[in-house]
Structure 1
Amino acid sequence: MKQIKVMVVDDSAVVRQVLSGLLGREPDMQVTYAVADPILASERMRLQWPDVVVLDVEMPRMDGLTFLRKLMAERPTPVVICSSLTEKSTRTSMEALASGAVAVVSKPKLDLRQSLHEGCDELVAAVRSAALARVQPAPSMRAPAPPVVPAAKLTADAILAPMGDAPAPGRGNGRVVALGTSTGGTQALERVLTELPPQTPGIVIVQHMPEQFTAAFAERLNGLCQITVREARNNDPVLAGQALIAPGGRHMLLRRGPSQYFVEVVDGPLVNRHRPSVDVLFRSVAKSAGASALGIIMTGMGDDGAVGLLEMRQAGARTLAQDEQSCVVYGMPREAVRRGAAERSVALDAISREILQYGGVNGG
Structure 2
Amino acid sequence: MTLKVLVVDDSSFFRRRVSEIINGDPRLEVIDCAVNGREAIDKTVQLKPDVITMDIEMPVMDGITSVREIMRQQPTPILMFSSLTHEGAKATLDALDAGALDFLPKKFEDIACNRDEAVSLLQNRVREIARKGIFMRRASPASSTLASSPALDARKEPTLPKRPLTDKLNSAKPTPKRVAGSFQASGKRYQLLAIGTSTGGPVALQKVLSALPANFPIPIVLVQHMPATFTAAFATRLNGLCKITVKEAEDGESIRPGCAYLAPGGLQMMVDGRPGSSRIKLVDGGDRMNYKPCVDVTFGSAAKIYGNSVLSIIMTGMGADGREGSRMLKSAGSTIWAQDADSCVVYGMPQAVAKEGISSEDLPLDRIAERIKIELNLV
* Alpha-carbon distance between aligned partners in 2 of 1:323 and 1:197, rounded to the nearest angstrom: 24
Q: What is the rounded CA distance, in whole Å, between the counterparts of 1:19 and 1:179 in structure 2?
A: 33
In the TM superposition, 1:279-294 aligns within 5 A as: 279-294=296-311
Matches within 5 A, 1:194-209: 194-200=210-216, 201-209=218-226
Cα 1:63–1:254 change in 2 (3 A) is same
Q: Write out aligned runs for 1:62-81 (5 A).
A: 62-81=61-80
Aligned to 2:222, the other structure's residue is in SS state strand
| Alignment correspondent of 1:3 | 2
Given candidates 262, 278, 286, the residue that maps to 1:268 is: 286
Are positions 1:256 and 2:273 aligned together?
yes
Is residue 178 from structure 1 mapped to residue 186 from structure 2 by the alignment?
no
Check whether the contact 1:178–1:294 (CA below 8 A) recurs between aligned residues: yes
Seen in structure 2, the aligned counterparts of structure 1 residues 106 and 130 have a Cα distance that, compared at 3 Å, is: same
- List aligned pairs for 1:238-257, cutoff 5 A: 238-257=255-274
TM-score normalised per structure 1: 0.82
4+ residue segments displaced more than 6 Å: 109-112, 114-118
For 1:334-357, what per-residue CA distance to the aligned partner results, in whole angstroms no more than 9, with x for missing partners? 221221111222332332233334
Within 2, Cα distance between the matches of 1:111 and 1:184? Answer: 20
Unmatched runs of 5 consecutive residues or more in structure 1: 143-173
Distance 2:63 2:219 in 1: 36
How many angstroms apart in 1 are the aligned matches of 2:275 and 2:206?
Answer: 32
Question: How far apart, in 2, do the equivalents of 1:111 and 1:181 lie?
Answer: 21
Corresponding position: 1:193 with 2:209: yes
Can you list the C-alpha shifts for 1:107-140, whole angstroms capped at 9, x where unaligned? 239999x998774344333212211224352433
| Counterpart AA for 1:339 | E
Deviation at 1:198, TM superposition (A): 2.7
Q: Deviations over 1:157-202 (max 9, x none)?
A: xxxxxxxxxxxxxxxxx71111011222222211111111233210
Decide whether aligned partners of structure 1 residues 40 and 324 sit closer, same or farther in structure 2, where only a CA change above 3 A counts.
Answer: closer
Name the stretch that deviates more: 294-303 or 347-356. 347-356
CA contact (8 A) 2:108 2:118 kept: no
SS in 1 for 2:260: strand
> C-alpha separation between the residues in 2 aligned to 1:116 and 1:88?
26
Match of 2:95 in 1: 96
Would the aligned equivalents of 1:208 and 1:276 in 2 still touch at CA under 8 Å? yes
Unaligned runs of 5+ in 2: 151-189
CA contact (8 A) 2:255 2:277 kept: yes
Query: What's the TM-score once normalised by structure 2's chain length?
Result: 0.79
Q: Distance between the aligned counterparts of 2:344 and 2:44, measured in 1?
A: 28
Identify if the C-alpha distance between structure 1 residues 316 and 310 changes in structure 2 by more than 3 Å, giving closer, same or farther: same
* Count of paired positions: 329
Query: Equivalent residue of 1:276, what SS?
Result: coil
2:67 is equivalent to residue 51 of structure 1: no
1:16 aligns with 2:15: yes
Aligned AA for 2:282? V
